[in-house]
Structure 1
Amino acid sequence: MSSLVSFLLLWGLTLGPVTEAAVFVETRPSLSAESESLLEPWANVMLTCQAHLPTLVFQLFKDGVSQELVQLDSPAIKHQFLLTGGTQGLYRCSAGLGRGWTQLSNLMEVTGPKSLPRPRLSAEPVSWITPGLNVTLVCHGGLQGVTFLLRREGDEEFLEVAKAREGVEAAFPVHQAGTYSCSYRTPATGTPSEPSAAVTIKELAPPPPPVLRPQRDYTGILHPGDSPTLLCVAPLSGVDFQLRRGGKELLVPSSSSSPDRVFFHLTALALGDSGPYTCRYRLRDQQDAWSGDSTPVELTLSDEKLPPPRLSAEPAGRSPEPGTLVRLRCQAPLVGLRFALVREDEGGRRVRSLLSPAGAEAQFELRSVSVADSANYSCVYVDPEPPFSGSAPSARVELRVPGPPPRPRLRALWSGPVTPGRDAVLRCEGHLPDVTVELLRVGDTEAAHLDRISATQSSTDLVLTYVGPQHAGNYSCRYRSWWPNRFESDLSDPVELLVAGH
């Protein structure tokens, strides 16, 4: 059977911090459609829910609401749902997994004979080109047997045409920078769909830099003989990496947990090996086309042979008022030194900031302090000139800022009632970094959070997936931390979500 039902495949995104190793097993089913007749493609529509593992149960949803639950006599890898009459809507499916359910499938939009949903255009593996890198634009249209059209903005003569890849999408190699969009047409109508949202491809030479950071165990003050590890992460896979110090390549042992990253294992550091360290990468068939250098990483090494500095807080006192500025002054007996402010809490000791003042005193600032800044602080200094000796740590200064932390703000990234079956995105702003952000519906229990994200920045988008009438209500966000300091913010002011037609 030919698939002539109009629908749109939308793919979800998962946000979270970069992990050093990850194992992912795909369980999300896929949803596709077929029509019995080319002459009446919308009369009898068959939706196929394709699972990854055999299961006894399948469920179909329309516009955010369950439509049909099927219990099979024997395990199957897929099931077909027949739609007849009143089929227009946004569909997903799920399959049984153990005692529960898989994630919802891709979103599939079924429309009438006079309209075609917009396709989605995405870039693989990245949205930029550079010599030696093959970039592909993939147009996800969802219909088997359709013809896809790719256009570049501002170029009336540019038009690429391709047949569907694996029935529902087409791939276009990209060799020029520009802003692209795609559409598709069916053999029955010949009229193209509305164009996709635009995707901009940039030309970058050199390629963008990677990210370099030390492993958590090596973020504090190091001593001669320590062997820290640095992690370098590139924006794409299958590249060659290089570690550098002061612009020169370092040949050190390395290992990898995935194709887009490498661990550089430094061995038996000596005084003077503080850095700065950078990493870069190149495509494997482009020997001289190195990326830009990563942001430098500096390691602080001290042999603790020099006398300790003196650390003091301004304003003085153990419990500064939330939201105030606290200055931590580190005083040494010499000038021309490198100072490090060290934070010590349940998570260990780590360098918070580095300064190289002209005089013998470094002034570290903690702006708008909150309960998250509660910790013990000390400082050390090192001589950046040979023999590169360093000091013992200063006496600790304890700060205990009373809570709660600042209250976040929540706002809706839509206007008016939400169309059933679409996603609703709410932005939680003003929270502290390195916390867990939660979305809750007003009146629900503490455990009934609707979205939860580990956030490294002070603004986070929280998503209500596949909204139905059951999602109508008022929502608030909050954030919390279990480590190294335990705290929880008050709830934000509520935002109301209305569902169209309900």
Structure 2
Amino acid sequence: MGPTVTSLVYIGLCLDWAVRAQMGPPPRPTLWAISSSVVSKGADVTLRCQGHLGSDRFQLWKDGELREEQNASWQQADFLLRNVDDWKDARSYSCRSGQGPLWSEFSDALDLVVTGAFPKPYISVLHGSPLDTGATATIRCDMLPQTSFQNYSFALLEAKSLEPLQQQSAAWNKVGFSLPSVRPEDTGNYSCIYYRKTAPYRGSHPSNTLELTVLGQLPKPTLWAQPDLVVSPGANISLWCSRPKLSSLGEVNFTLWKLGTHEHLQQQISGGLWTNFILPSVRPKDAGSYSCTYRENIASARASIHSDYLELVVTGSLPKPSLSALPALVVEPGIHVTLQCRQPPQTFLSGLTFTLLKMGTSQPLQRQSPAGTSADFLLLSVREQDSGNYSCFYHRKMAPYVVSEASEVLEIWVTDALLKPSLSVWPGQEVASGSNVMLLCQGPRWSSRFTFYKEGIINTIQHEAQFLLTHVTPKDSGNYSCSYQPGTSGNLRTQQSDPLEIRVTVPSNILLIALSCVSFLLICLLLLAFLGLQFTPIGSLHRESLRRVFCCSCLPQGVCPPHHLETPTDESVYTEMARGTPREPSVSYFCPVLYLEEKPQTMGIVLDHF
């Protein structure tokens, strides 16, 4: 990079920084501790500074003094404090981020509390445990008598992570933390500490663990199926059950249920947030509504409520229905679309329930139990997200619960602009004159009309996606494109494909001229040979005479030998021939020479060139 370019880059950076400086400092970053701002003495803790977009420099400050600076990407930086001490590390921290010469404002202060300096407090819950759902829990934290309790604050912690849940300044040597309207998910283990209000933030040992139990059912889990809700007989299905993340829960017992049965189907113990139940080689009798629950794997054994029911369909017992759309498969946003699911005419079944499905959706969209043989599912004021693949099926409302096959998939498009097509050519973009060329316009399956263009001008409009050019000539060379649109939605905009250039070539003119010349010369030779044999006695001609007869008429003037004979001959013959044969005009090309030689018992025609 030359000095001029370097100077320009620096000038650009300076201008950019000047503009940024006029706009004010960047937004302040955020500072937090991983995993908690309350740590045990001797532990390691990470302080993370999250800056604004484009931040590439970070500073960590302790008690108003710069402690560390580093360059980092991804708009954040991690500062590691090893083997923390309750004197030098239990301080107030902040950070700031920068880009170029500009620095942000400081983040909010983070007070790092290091435990282990004082005796642990005593923790208790008023009114005992367990508590009913909706009750108010009060957790009290009592410190040992101190000479100056006004200098301390209390913190209620989640017992395992030491994450602060609430903080209060001490008005006495004890405080009460209130949890209003508790829910089952508030069940868990709690502890508390007290610590100095001013730096260094030295804290007590954590109290003993308090187990709080809230009666009632746990939050409901979620159930979903893989690979799909509508399957053929013999398929393997996985039903996944997941629960909310609750700090109070360890291992739980997941249970799978089927509506209409009194006993559970499967159970699994897991310490994770989800588990899966396998239904191998399903049959029509496996169709139905499924749900799942989870229960604590401890003595209290709190259980969750049931998940939403999942409708599993095993097809194949009855003929598949037909599914149609009105007014069209492709519509503009805001249009009402009716999807009609109709059972086959040969079934004549009554008491059926029709179900509408959409691929990618875990639950059926709609259900109907009409009196007739079809059901109309109405999609009101459709939007772009209503686009997709739909199908339907039907089944008996009462036992035996036989189910039909799923209908053919119907693709619905909600759009105000059709997707761009693509154009391809066979056998290639460069073809010989006289060949046939096939153009193929590729669009969605619901395309019904295709328009082909040459140089942007409409060439043809047809219902087929293939357009044949027969016996092409150089005038067919040019740029071609195509577009498509549904026949029932002519008001929708169409887009032309990217242009495709076709080149039509012809054979070389030099080769054609050469072939024509050779053909003409051969005809000339045959004609001259025929005329010479018809008017001249072969035995009375010598070599030079024959050369003059058969050659001189087609050679340029002055090329033939002089007009004389080596042996006296009958002059009348030549005179008669000269009178009977017109003189050919001079030309500028060579002509083969034909010699006729008389030999004993034979007559030969010898070709040579002059």
> Is this a same-fold pair by TM over 0.5?
no
TM-score, L = length of structure 2: 0.37
Which structure shows the higher helix fraction?
Answer: 2
TM-score, L = length of structure 1: 0.44
Q: Tell which structure's C-alpha radius of gyration is larger.
A: 2
Which structure shows the higher strand fraction?
Answer: 1
